[in-house]
Structures are given as structure tokens and as C-alpha cells.
Structure 1
Amino acid sequence: MSENGTQTVRTDDGVRLAYRAWGAETGVPVVLLHCLGEDGEDWRGPLISALAGAHPVYALDLRGHGESDWPGSYALADFVADLRGFLDALGIERAVLVGHSFGSVVAYLFAQEHPGRVERLVLEETGALRPPARPRQLPEAPPGTPLFDWEVTVQWTRQRNAPDPAWWERLSAITAPTLLVGGGNGSHLPQEDLASMAERIPDARVLTIDGAGHLVHEARPMEFTRAVVDFLTEA
């Protein structure tokens, strides 16, 4: 365990992934996936406290972030493979995935590819991977020492500009009950995209916490926590 309280695993592909762990030894594991530029520390707060009594809870540092490896390759398929490798390394057959923004994209692509390994799926302010009306410009790195590998942003932008059509078409392959949480007013993401995604996912619904913006779990932590807990405990 590092000085920051993280543990590490190494996937079969050789990528070292850092994570934090809390909670019960039994119950369905919950894996938390952060947004672009953050790491697993972003999840500390009431959500973990609420889940840890009934679930083992893991907050992963995605590749290129935090204390995980920064290998320079950041295709979405790499992140999906890392998540599979992480679950395999910990012996987790099925998990609840909770993802925010970029992390939610990784979560739902994993759920498309490995539907049998996802118990439930929570997508906070997720992005619909369809061709944009106007291509996004490749961002320039900010000055100073980066907190994460800026190449993740560059490669993510390229993939958003030219998404694989299968990423949208295969939403129908997700079998897990899915909750899409939108921040409503103040979010930079088109909220109608969440409804469009929910229409394609067989067992999905949208919950809007209006006024929360893009950072729902930070701006409205108690409302977000209640929404997730209620979703995980319903029959």
C-alpha cells in the first residue's frame, strides 16, 4: 500500500493499476470510475460511506491518471481491457459499475462487451458517442506539471471526433439495469442525449438532478448518493 493509501494490481497486459478499497468483505463489489483528469480520490465522500456497509467498494485510477501507469496508449479499448484485467486480478466475476463522464463511457463500453460481468450500471453525466456536428479541436497541454497524462485528452478528442459506430449501436447489448444521472441545467452535455441512450439500453432510465451541472456527485453529493443507493437496493 502506498503512502496515499492506494494498492496496485498488474493486468495480464502488464499495466499497473492503482486503486483504493473500502467496505464489506461480502456483497456485490462496486467499482467507481472517475472522469477525465481526476483519479480515484475524486469519489471520497458520502457515496462510499453509504455503500461500504453492504459492498466491497473500489475506486480505480484509470491508466494515464493518478498512480496508475501512463503508457501513452489511450484507445477506449485499452481502458475496457484494463477494467477487465482489474476485475480478473481481484477475482471479481460480477460488479456494479458507477462511472462519471469519461469513466462512465468506459463503464458502458465494458458492459457492451462483457454484459455478464455487470450487475448494475450507473452512468453520471455520460457522453453519447455519436459523430459531433462540428469536430472538436485537439487541445493544447496547459503549462506546468500535468496531474495526468495530457495525451489521454488528445486521444479521447480524436475518438470523439470519429467514434466507432458500434459504440452507439451496441448500447442494446447492455443487459444490466442502468441508471443514467444527468445534471440538468448547468451541464455542458446535451441532456437529451441521456434520454436517447436510455431508449437504446433495454433496461434503463434517466434521473435528472436539475442544477447540479456536470459534477453531480460533487455538487449534490447527498442527492446523488440517495439515487445510487435506492437504485442498487430496489427489487
Structure 2
Amino acid sequence: MDTAPRTVEANGITLAYRAWGPEDAPPVVLLHGRGADSADWADIAGPLAAGPRRVYALDLRGHGRSDWPGTYAYELMCDDVHAFLGALGIARTDLVGHSLGGVIAYLLAQRAPEAVGRLVLEDAPAPFPLDPPRPRAERPDGELSFDWAMVQATDEQRNAPDPVWFDHMERITMPTLLVGGGPASLIPQDEIAALADRIPDARMVTIDAGHLVHETRPKEFLAVVEPFLAE
């Protein structure tokens, strides 16, 4: 894994990222789940880069080595990723998002469809209000690798997401692959099926791995994602 520190200024903050593969190869951007960072993709990025592809993995705002500005929203994180692409001169990329990263990925696909070639959503929740609402979480003791304010802000939006997010799923017209983690996942799999029904050019596969599909079963994950990206 390329561990050389890389940063870029985008959307008014500093975003940290890792990169693999030839610089002139087709790009793919990986977006991690909540509480993780770009290192979460260590087992996935190398094989994707061998495609060959230029693979980028971000630390989202409030995570890892990126800025922790104290202001968080899914829409802001989406704007960060869009600005990241602009800062690196990437006009169009394939996009893979897990969980929180999947929500950011489908918002970007709605808001800037010209920037996304193919879309992979790994165990990403649909924007349905939680019933019952998620209670306010208590901060664990010790140092964290992410900003606790980010957890509180994203919990609020997870409880009451903007209904426009689901209404605009039909704007996602690029080929889309949804990867569900099966019954052991903390994400209700009928939500993933609802996204697959709503997105016009979507297909859904299930890998019985729980929520952390690419981490728990990286070979199986790559076996469905690599052919999809190569189509």
C-alpha cells in the first residue's frame, strides 16, 4: 500500500488521500464507511490498481488525516469529494462507496452525474428515517481516529434524511452495482433492494459477509466489482 502522505485543498479544507496504480490509468475513487479511513481499502486497492487503474482512497472530512472542521453533513462530504475530483483534474471517475461512503457516493451521482462513470454501493443504507430514531450516542473514552461531532451530525441526518435524496435516485442513470452484506448486516437488506428498484440501471448482488463486505470477504467482493467496473 502506498503510505506516502498526500493532501489536497478542496472545498475549503485539507483532504488526505492515498493513491495506487499508474497515473494515466482510468480512475476509481473509494469512499470508506463511518469511523474508518483510506487504509480501510488496503486489501482492495492493490488488486484494483493492477487492472490497471489509478485508485484513490480518501479520508473523508472528520476522519483520519483529513481536517476535522467541526461542521458535518452528508451534503458537505459530497461537495468535498466533488471538489477533490476537481482539484486533481479528474473529470470523470468510477466510484465505490461503503456505508456512509455509499451515501456520499449516491448523492454525488445524483448531483453531478457527469462526474461518475460507474457506481458501486456497498451495503449503503437507503435514505429512510429510522424508526425508532437512533438515540444520542455517548462518546467512547480515549483518543479517536475520527471527530465525534461527525458521529452526532450524521446520526441526526440518518434519523431524518432529506426525502429528496430518495426522490432523486432516478437521476442516477449510470450503471450501478449494489452489494448487500446479507442477513448478518446491520443495514436492512430490503433498503438496498429498494435502492436497486429505484435506480434505473442498477443490479444487486448479496455476499453473505455482514456489513463489512470488502473487509470480511475481499476476494468475493473483488470478484463481483472488478468485472462490473471492466464492462
In 2, distance between residues paired with 1:200 and 1:67? 35
Q: Deviations over 1:127-147 (max 9, x none)?
A: 111112211111111011111
Partner in structure 1 of residue 42 of structure 2:
44
Contact 2:45 2:55 in 1 (8 A): yes
| Structure 1 residue 93 corresponds to structure 2 residue 105 | no
Contact 1:96 1:121 in 2 (8 A): yes
- What is the DSSP-based 3-state SS (H/G/I as helix, E as strand, rest coil) of the residue aligned with 2:214? helix
Partner in structure 2 of residue 104 of structure 1:
102
Please give the TM-score of this superposition, normalised by the length of structure 1. 0.95
Residue in structure 1 matching 2:157, options 159, 175, 197: 159
Partner in structure 2 of residue 136 of structure 1:
134
In 1, distance between residues paired with 2:86 and 2:199? 26
The alignment of Structure 1 onto Structure 2 pairs a total of residues equal to 229
**What are the equivalent positions in structure 2 for 1:8-157 lying under 5 Å apart?**
8-11=7-10, 13-45=11-43, 47-53=44-50, 54-157=52-155
Identity %: 54
**What are the equivalent positions in structure 2 for 1:207-218 lying under 5 Å apart?**
207-210=205-208, 212-218=209-215
Please give the TM-score of this superposition, normalised by the length of structure 2. 0.96
Query: How far has the Cα of 1:179 moved from its partner?
Result: 0.4
Query: How far has the Cα of 1:27 moved from its partner?
Result: 3.2
Contact 1:28 1:94 in 2 (8 A): no
- What is the DSSP-based 3-state SS (H/G/I as helix, E as strand, rest coil) of the residue aligned with 1:218? helix
In 2, distance between residues paired with 1:27 and 1:226? 20
In 2, distance between residues paired with 1:121 and 1:6? 27
**What are the equivalent positions in structure 2 for 1:197-212 lying under 5 Å apart?**
197-210=195-208, 212=209
| Structure 1 residue 224 corresponds to structure 2 residue 221 | yes
- What is the DSSP-based 3-state SS (H/G/I as helix, E as strand, rest coil) of the residue aligned with 1:85? helix
Query: How far has the Cα of 1:4 moved from its partner?
Result: 4.5
- What is the DSSP-based 3-state SS (H/G/I as helix, E as strand, rest coil) of the residue aligned with 1:44? helix
In 1, distance between residues paired with 2:124 and 2:110? 15
Instruction: Show structure 2 runs of 5+ residues with no match.
Output: none
Contact 2:3 2:18 in 1 (8 A): no
In 2, distance between residues paired with 1:170 and 1:41? 31
| Structure 1 residue 172 corresponds to structure 2 residue 170 | yes
Query: How far has the Cα of 1:170 moved from its partner?
Result: 0.5
Partner in structure 2 of residue 7 of structure 1:
6
In 2, distance between residues paired with 1:172 and 1:155? 26
In 1, distance between residues paired with 2:46 and 2:149? 33
- What is the DSSP-based 3-state SS (H/G/I as helix, E as strand, rest coil) of the residue aligned with 1:120? strand
In 1, distance between residues paired with 2:8 and 2:145? 21
In 2, distance between residues paired with 1:188 and 1:115? 29
Amino acid at match of 1:27: A
Amino acid at match of 2:115: R
Instruction: Show structure 1 runs of 5+ residues with no match.
Output: none
Partner in structure 2 of residue 194 of structure 1:
192
Residue in structure 2 matching 1:185, options 183, 186, 193: 183
Contact 1:99 1:107 in 2 (8 A): yes
